[in-house]
Amino acid sequence: MSRTDRLFGLLQSLRRHRRPVSGADLAAEAGISLRTLYRDVATLQGLGAEIDGEPGLGYVLKPGFLMPPLMFSDEEIQALALGARWVARRTDADLARAARNAMAKIASVVPPDLHRKLDDDALIIGPGWEKPQAVGLDTLRQALNHERKLALSYRDEKGVRTERVVWPVVLGFFETTRVLAAWCELRGGFRHFRTDRIEAAELLSYRPPRPRRSLMAEWRKTMLTETDSSRAYKSSPPKPRTETPMSKDLIFYTHPQSRGNIVHWMLEEIGGPYRIEVKEYGTTMKAPDYLAINPMGKVPAIRHGDTVVTESAAIVAYLADAFPEAGLAPPLAERGEYYRWLFFTAGCGEPAISNHSVGWDPTTPDLQGRFGYGSFPLVMDTLSQAVRGKRFVAGDRFSAADVYLGSLLHWAMRFGIIDRRPEFETYCEGLISRPAALRAREQAEKLASQHAWTTS
């Protein structure tokens, strides 16, 4: 790399940082020594660049300094083109048009060899966000851009419709959903609204009492940190005895969009303190330190003192035994039905539903004989009979088996994987309204929102 290119690169690095950045970080990014970095900064200052700072304190570039722009690299062109295609397919008509116009302007000034990169279809945007919306995203963006209140008609996941006035804070674009974070006047706090559940929205003429920037700072403070249990996961304090299970550290490894939600509910039923660690699909789940805990590289998992347990059914069974004071397992002599339905859900219910969700079921007698669950209809009929007319699946008390089975049935009905049989709905209705289930769901939603925005 020539010295001229290196100086332009350093200038570009400084433009990306709004706060002082250390010389060591700048040197590492440029692949040069710290001494060379100091000389390059002095050269740019001599050319008129207002770079504040000095060795040991860091550097920041004041706005307003202009130099001839750098030409895009091949990868930068690909990044711009891919981003524009994503915007065109995943947002609203106005943003899609703006993305196309921006790329047309770029195409008019880049040389022919880079122009071909703009039209290269080696990177495409696949299917993703396809959910119909009654309210266009442009209306929500207007409320954000002009800092106006919104009057919403919103229907939640249970189908309950409410009228809200909200102060929009931020609009999140995720792969499978769009979420508006806003202060809700009805609830008196920050709430997250899936845009496909907003049935009507009116842009009001008056502003929230605080600027959006202040609301953003307040909203971020309400988000959970990845390892916060003392503030957000309210629980009973550990007993003073030193040899109780509650005195051991309990770490819960999960991801907000995973089977970890089953264990999350179970932990809230127990009522003891625990620490949560979020693991990323494909990255931290596959890191050596986590593979030492679960060689499968998946969640959920727990570490309770020196004991590691993986697999949802095993975890809820372990927790029920490790915390007997919670009363989530029957007495040993009465555990026949409890074990039966806990492990029927794991060994038959979940595989049958998972296979059915991707459009495959064992249909021939030969295939059904090879699979432990036989067939999907047989599993559904068996579960229907198990919960028909019952509050709990194993006796007259709530147990860990209800946490596991209730979670599976509720999830599968919610996403349309299984039919909403009356006996399933009646059974789940009493379970998912339990205080621990509501706490776990609310905390998981907050965790998902915090995690999505802090990793974006």
pLDDT digits (tens, 9 = 90+) for 260-317: 999 999 999 999 899 999 998 889 999 999 999 999 999 999 999 999 999 999 999 9
Q: What phi and psi, each to the nearest 5 degrees, are found at residue 74?
A: -55, -45
Q: Percentage of the chain surpassing pLDDT 70?
A: 89
Which residues lie closer than 8 Å to 61 by C-beta, 6 or more apart?
11, 14, 15, 17, 49, 50, 51, 52
Q: Give the closest residue to 430 by CA, choosing from 454, 456, 397, 385.
A: 397
Decide: pTM greater than 0.85. Answer: no
Per the model's pLDDT, the better-predicted residue between 261 and 29 turns out to be: 261
Both tokens of 275, joined, read 């620490």
Q: Which residue has the tokens 């302007």?
A: 105
Please tell me the distance from the alpha carbon of residue 386 to that of residue 424, in angstroms, as a whole number.
10
Stretch among 18-22, 288-292, 323-327 having the lowest mean pLDDT: 18-22
Check the CA dihedral 202-208-211-216 and report its sign.
negative
320-328 long-range Cβ contacts below 8 angstroms, 24+ apart: 320/266, 320/399, 320/400, 322/245, 323/245, 323/246, 323/270, 323/272, 326/269, 326/270, 326/271, 327/397, 328/266, 328/269, 328/270, 328/398, 328/399, 328/400, 328/403
The rounded mean pLDDT for the chain is 86
Q: What phi and psi, each to the nearest 5 degrees, are found at residue 164?
A: -130, 150
Please tell me the distance from the alpha carbon of residue 446 to that of residue 454, in angstroms, as a whole number.
12
pLDDT for res 56: 67
Q: Residue 398 pLDDT more than 70?
A: yes
Both tokens of 281, joined, read 């699909």
Check the CA dihedral 72-78-80-84 and report its sign.
positive
- Of the pLDDT bands very low, low, confident and very high (cuts 50, 70, 90), residue 225 is very low
Q: Letter for the amino acid at 364?
A: T
Are the C-beta atoms of residues 238 and 323 closer than 8 Å to each other?
no
Please tell me the distance from the alpha carbon of residue 447 to that of residue 180, in angstroms, as a whole number.
15
Are the C-beta atoms of residues 179 and 195 closer than 8 Å to each other?
yes
Instruction: List, for residues 336-390, the tens digit of each pLDDT value.
Output: 999 999 999 999 999 999 999 999 999 899 999 998 899 999 999 999 999 999 9
Pairing of strands 198-203, 150-155: antiparallel
pLDDT for res 6: 85
Per the model's pLDDT, the better-predicted residue between 294 and 62 turns out to be: 294
